[in-house]
Amino acid sequence: MSVSMRRAFPGLRFFTTQPGLASTRRRFSGTPFMKDAASTLPTKKPIGAFRGGLFGFLSGAVVAGATVYYYILGEYRISNTMLTEDIYALQSATQKLQTYISELETRVDQLQKKK
């Protein structure tokens, strides 16, 4: 330490020259409590970034695929019901038209017999 520093900060010399006080001060990384806490934690096998990313991607793809499947299945059921109703309406309209045409044919035949 330089002379000018000793004159400017006389109390600083006390902390730097006393070796016993320097070791009793608490340091963030060197406390015995922190060393004991780190050793009592259970060690976990780290999951690699590749395995974690692959698992996340596959689980997301499965969830998205299942959601899309059920959405499309619901839309298919709705469209199938609507198509069936339209087929039944077309069938009934065709039957009405067929009966109307058959009535017209019988009337035309009756008019031709009268002549």
36-64 pLDDT, tens per residue? 555 566 677 666 777 788 889 999 999 99
Q: Tens digits of per-residue pLDDT, 53-97?
A: 888 999 999 999 999 999 999 999 999 999 999 999 999 999 999
Query: Side-chain half-sphere of 114: how many Cα atoms within 13 Å?
Result: 6
**Is the pLDDT higher at 55 or at 3?**
55
